[in-house]
Structure 1
Amino acid sequence: MNGKKVLFVSSELVPYLPENPVSLMSYEAPRMVNSNGGQIRIFMPRYGNINERRHQLHEVIRLSGMNLVINDMDMPLIIKVASIPKERIQVYFIDNDEYFKRKATFTDSDGNLFPDNDERAIFFAKGVVETVKKLNWSPDIIHVHGWMASMVPLYLRKYYADEPLFSESRIVTSVYGKDFEGELDATMIDKIAFDGIDKEEVSVLSKPEYNNLLKVAVDHSDAVILAADDLSDDLKSHIDNLSVPVLPYVPLQEAEEAYTNFYNTEVLK
């Protein structure tokens, strides 16, 4: 991985959010690349339950200030940054008061999914790409973790298809066990179509539930990592039918060797 540039895009990340399979591997994978001589950038949403003072987040004025259009609405993009001290790893946070100020990640106090989670996912995907464009940083690998980041492969391959910065980038999606029950907003497919993406490309999102979000992500990826050993038969079958390299599930203690080898021999070949 020496000198290779890897962009990590994640729904969740320790130490900013509680430890779970997504947040833990979203920390461990960049740490592995960093320790093996790779260059990394990490992006995640700036949820309102992240303590900005404790984690010393601060706004990056030169990167903030643009508006992203989501379903014909102008939504201001704010970029914040912090560092994970013991690893000297910098993390970029995608922020917007309308989408991320609330003091929770994905659900309200009653456990109900936020009704605008679909728009939050689209905003996050666009926000990451636009910020990386401003940084003028061309990643060799873009590694996606978690369902809130699941629109990133689709938008890179369709909405930003002509963006030269990513023309050589290889997209890897890690697929985790089912993270939520129920569905996102039923009009999600129309909001994606508003951005000029053919509905046929995302027809499964006529039912925007967890497995279908991940199907869209892996369909637009160059490689897939199975990050859980309890995936549904439906999702496993879908991945089995893809013509891309797939890394079977490995436990965390074996991940460094397996991931590094997968990056080098399957993703970057």
Structure 2
Amino acid sequence: MFDRPLKILVVSSEVVPFAKTGGLADVAGSLPKALAVVGNDNMGNDVRVAMPRYQQIESGTYRMDFPVPFKNRNETAIIRESSIESQYQGVHKTIPVYLVDNHHYFYRDRMYMYDDEAERFTFFCRAVLEMLPKLDWQPDVIHCNDWQSGPIPLFLKTHYRQDPFYNRIATVFTVHNLQYQGNYPKEVLQVLGLGDEFYHPERLEFYGSVSFMKAGIVYADVINTVSRTYAAEIQRPELGERMDGLLRKRSKDLYGIVNGINYHEFNPKTDNRIHRNYDSANVTHKKENKFALQKELGLPVRDIPLIGLISRLVDQKGLDLIAEIVDQLMSEDIQFAVLGSGDKYYEDMFERIRSRFPEKMGLYLGFNAILAQRIYAGSDMFLMPSRFEPCGLGQLISLRYGTIPIVRFTGGLADTVNEYNPETSSGNGFGFSDYSGRELFNAIKRALRLYREQPGQWETLVRNAMELDFSWARSGVEYLQLYQQAMSAHLSLQKIA
């Protein structure tokens, strides 16, 4: 597929299984596993990962330490090494994970939300780049993820521009969620080691701030986001978060690749967290998971449609639409299984719904990984009425478990869920476009109608869903093609320079 294996460094502020606050960690932990084994007749690539070593990370063997030029002084970086393992079609790879350690910046009670955030991640980015020649390892591509690694493409084109070790390294910058931008006062230019000439709309200035997200978008060779639809949406003012003009300017370098999921971890045939294993050949066993889930959540054990919802409880997720139609929904002969945490407003909203309809809603406020798997396996339908959704992983997991998604067609939801057509037996779920409670209710009604009136069609739909491929192996090939694009773009710029 490619003329040689690639050397790829994936840089992220969080990586499963070491540290996680959201979907970024899942992507940064899973994509390298696929990249290590796909391409080149399954010979794979030399893939490595870099992330901060937060206080809660206990693993990591000492590898080296060195001074990092930073804010007119040197700050010590300690590099510790751990690993993640990749298994695919009989091929096993060990992927090095470099943990950037500094007691002052990373030994804290939580990962984010500190006043010196700009300093912490500037140091991290400089340390990653300074580490590479000391490892005697020169990547073809550095794959940066979200604003915390946005300075890396900037530094390669400024501080390290004249160093021959770095000038052949291409960069890819992935926008996972454009809402989170890393915007700081102008004085942050001193932290970055840059002069006032970078405080300019064509460079880092962003509505009176200096933006780490903008640094990645402006200076990376290629940009992508986590679905084709979201790549188009963020070029419009409605979802562009004031960066739509910049993204339109770089539209020829902007791509969309849908995230994948780990098909070994998320496998209803082998998952030991669920009550009864099943696959597309025996989907009737799925029902036993529903009955066990109803019992676990204190719901009446009945063979009625059970709708799952696993979500951060925030505005983005379209939860206000549920509030808008709650009485209509609860007049139906259905049940809900809800798992999540977030804004107190929505936590209280679901508490009130459960207190009003205790036989129709099971609710767990908080994080519970085992219960999440049981909801994916035991529900008949899975609800994601998001206001916007860059990619979404919930619908991919639910499809894997034969739990039919009901979504708003936005971002990655639009790219992965297609309305089921009973006449052609095509499609894998139900959805709506207009952001309204009425449209959400209509989509739920279509799903309920098929479930109740055409059980044979419903079983076909479940099989359709389970036989789709949203694995990282598929997405990994697309990322390899993107890296080739970045390398070509970087080489073209080198020739011009």
Measured against the shorter chain, the TM-score band is 0.7 to 0.9
| Residue in 1 that maps onto 2:31 | 29
| Residue in 2 that maps onto 1:94 | 100
| Residue in 2 that maps onto 1:109 | none
Give the 3-state SS of the residue equivalent to 1:164 in structure 2.
Answer: coil
- CA drift of 1:217 comes to 0.8
User: How do residues 77-92 of structure 1 correspond to structure 2 at under 5 angstroms?
Assistant: 77-86=77-86, 88-92=94-98
- CA drift of 1:125 comes to 1.0
> Is this contact kept in 1: 2:125–2:149, CA < 8 A?
yes
Give the 3-state SS of the residue equivalent to 2:36 in structure 1.
Answer: helix
Measure, in 1, the Cα distance between the counterparts of 2:101 and 2:252: 33
> Is this contact kept in 2: 1:142–1:172, CA < 8 A?
yes
Post-superposition Cα deviations, 1:69-109, rounded to whole Å, max 9, x if no partner, equal: 32224321111110114552110011111101112111xxx
User: Which of 9, 13, 16 is residue 15 of structure 2 equivalent to?
Assistant: 13
For 1:22, give the aligned amino acid: L
Q: Which runs of 5 or more residues in structure 1 are unaligned?
A: 107-112
Is structure 2 residue 44 aligned with structure 1 residue 74? no
- Give the percent of matched residue pairs that are identical in Structure 1 and Structure 2: 24
- With structure 2 as the length reference, what TM-score do the two structures score? 0.47
Is structure 2 residue 475 aligned with structure 1 residue 255? yes
Give the 3-state SS of the residue equivalent to 1:144 in structure 2.
Answer: strand
Measure, in 2, the Cα distance between the counterparts of 1:206 and 1:77: 32
> Is this contact kept in 2: 1:223–1:245, CA < 8 A?
yes
| Residue in 1 that maps onto 2:45 | 38
Give the 3-state SS of the residue equivalent to 1:237 in structure 2.
Answer: helix
Q: 1:195 to 1:103 in 2, by over 3 A?
A: same
Q: Which runs of 5 or more residues in structure 2 are unaligned?
A: 39-43, 87-92, 261-469, 489-497
Give the 3-state SS of the residue equivalent to 2:205 in structure 1.
Answer: helix
> Is this contact kept in 2: 1:5–1:139, CA < 8 A?
yes
Higher relative contact order (CA 8 A, sep 6+): 1
Measure, in 2, the Cα distance between the counterparts of 1:134 and 1:243: 36
Post-superposition Cα deviations, 1:190-241, rounded to whole Å, max 9, x if no partner, equal: 322x455842442338414xxx321111111110111263753133432221
For 1:43, give the aligned amino acid: A
Measure, in 2, the Cα distance between the counterparts of 1:243 and 1:116: 33
| Residue in 1 that maps onto 2:156 | 156
| Residue in 2 that maps onto 1:227 | 226
Q: 1:243 to 1:197 in 2, by over 3 A?
A: farther
> Is this contact kept in 2: 1:205–1:213, CA < 8 A?
no
Measure, in 2, the Cα distance between the counterparts of 1:249 and 1:213: 22
User: Which of 54, 58, 61 is residue 61 of structure 2 equivalent to?
Assistant: 58
For 2:161, give the aligned amino acid: A
- With structure 1 as the length reference, what TM-score do the two structures score? 0.83
Measure, in 1, the Cα distance between the counterparts of 2:189 and 2:487: 32
> Is this contact kept in 2: 1:7–1:41, CA < 8 A?
yes
- CA drift of 1:150 comes to 1.3
- CA drift of 1:180 comes to 4.3
| Residue in 1 that maps onto 2:361 | none
> Is this contact kept in 2: 1:142–1:169, CA < 8 A?
yes
| Residue in 2 that maps onto 1:49 | 56
For 2:245, give the aligned amino acid: S
Post-superposition Cα deviations, 1:146-183, rounded to whole Å, max 9, x if no partner, equal: 22111111111101111211222111000111464885
For 2:254, give the aligned amino acid: V
Query: Is 120-129 or 255-264 further displaced after alignment?
Result: 255-264
Measure, in 2, the Cα distance between the counterparts of 1:222 and 1:181: 19
Rg larger for: 2
Measure, in 1, the Cα distance between the counterparts of 2:103 and 2:119: 13
Give the 3-state SS of the residue equivalent to 1:81 in structure 2.
Answer: strand
User: How do residues 183-202 of structure 1 correspond to structure 2 at under 5 angstroms?
Assistant: 183-184=183-184, 187-192=187-192, 194-195=193-194, 198-200=197-199, 201-202=203-204
> Is this contact kept in 2: 1:144–1:171, CA < 8 A?
yes
> Is this contact kept in 1: 2:148–2:182, CA < 8 A?
no
4+ long deviations beyond 6 Å: none
Q: 1:206 to 1:137 in 2, by over 3 A?
A: farther
Give the 3-state SS of the residue equivalent to 1:128 in structure 2.
Answer: helix
Q: 1:238 to 1:183 in 2, by over 3 A?
A: closer
Measure, in 1, the Cα distance between the counterparts of 2:207 and 2:188: 7
Give the 3-state SS of the residue equivalent to 1:15 in structure 2.
Answer: coil
- CA drift of 1:116 comes to 0.9
Measure, in 1, the Cα distance between the counterparts of 2:30 and 2:255: 17
Measure, in 2, the Cα distance between the counterparts of 1:74 and 1:134: 17
> Is this contact kept in 2: 1:189–1:205, CA < 8 A?
no
Q: 1:32 to 1:197 in 2, by over 3 A?
A: farther
User: Which of 193, 203, 214 is residue 205 of structure 2 equivalent to?
Assistant: 203
Is structure 2 residue 486 aligned with structure 1 residue 267? yes
Q: 1:26 to 1:58 in 2, by over 3 A?
A: same
When the two structures are aligned, how many residues end up with a matched partner?
251
Measure, in 1, the Cα distance between the counterparts of 2:182 and 2:153: 23
